[in-house]
Amino acid sequence: MKKTERLELENRILRGMLSDIQESVQKFEEDTATGEGYVLNAFKTLGSIAYVAGSFSDRVLTEKCCSGATEGGQT
């Protein structure tokens, strides 16, 4: 995989991760607007963000497998 291809892949994955985090925060804001379960919602949101943040390497692996890219470059 060329350097530019790798950077484009990582950029696409990071954008997806950011989108997932934004959705979690938005859901937290909507859920807590009623004032119920604030602490529980906060822990669920933090857990969701931690999961997304820790999923980068898995997402890269998935993208590489699905796209047919190889680690060693062109074959």
Q: Catalogue the long-range contacts made by 3-12 (C-beta closer than 8 Å, 24 or more residues apart).
A: 5/69, 9/60, 9/63, 9/64, 9/67, 9/69, 10/60, 12/63
Q: Please identify which residue in the block is written with the tokens 């933090």.
A: 46
**Tens digits of residue pLDDT in 17-71:** 999 999 988 888 887 777 767 778 888 888 888 888 888 888 888 887 887 655 5
**Tens digits of residue pLDDT in 51-66:** 888 888 888 888 878 8
Greatest extent of the chain over all pairs of C-alpha atoms, in Å: 57
pLDDT score, position 71 = 53
